[in-house]
Amino acid sequence: MAYPEWREKFIDSISDVGYNINMKPITITDATIENLRSPQVEGWPAFMNDRLNREHQELLRLAQRQPSGVEVAVRYGDNFTNKVVSVGTVGRVAPDFSSGTIYMHNHPSGNTFTLKDVEKLLFNDNIELLSAVGHNGVIYTLHKAGRYSFSSVYAKYHKLSKNRPDYKASPEEYIRFMEDFLNSLSDAGLNYEKGR
């Protein structure tokens, strides 16, 4: 399936539900920032995983200085070089994905990825790692492994959405669907981790 078909069929049809899951912002506390522990990215050396944790802390510090509910994104090149920060609006941020390999952003409500988040990883070959840091201290990562296959990811999404046509009925149903979808992706070459 090509990007325009994916977007029309799956992303545009759920944009309101996906947007609404991040509309109950949690206040970021200093304790939340200090206690962040990023999931370990498989295949990364310890110093890169340590750096990932520090960058997640810095991202939440930046989000803490924004009005309630505002999303912030940070894009990096290889080994956390060429940092580019984008400040969005309440519940949304739209950075440039044309370069960079690591993309992280905050989720004011603390929920997992939306399909709109996942599409950025799927349709930008340069992006290797996507992360979302909840204001509650939960960190979600999605990492392309060497065996990544878009067609396998799409097949899993298609099967799950066909079996659960009500997943767009409410933000809660959507979150449950996304957790199940993301947890099914390891044999498609996408490693999903959730840490606190």
Contacts of 140 (CB under 8 A, 6+ apart): 107, 112, 113, 131, 132, 133, 134, 182, 192, 193, 194
* Range of 8-17, 18-27, 28-37, 81-90 with top mean pLDDT: 28-37
- Three-class DSSP labels, 142-181: EEECCCCCHHHHHHHHHHHHHHCHHHHCCHHHHHHHHHHH
pLDDT of 7: 54
Contacts of 148 (CB under 8 A, 6+ apart): 188, 189, 190
Tell me: pLDDT of 9 over 70. Answer: no
Strands (E) located in 68-162: 70-76, 84-90, 102-107, 129-134, 139-144
pLDDT of 128: 93
pLDDT digits (tens, 9 = 90+) for 33-57: 999 999 999 899 999 999 999 999 9
pLDDT of 2: 56
Which pair of structure tokens corresponds to residue 110?
Answer: 């603390």
pLDDT of 191: 95
pLDDT of 54: 96
Confidence of residue 20 (pLDDT cuts 50, 70, 90): low
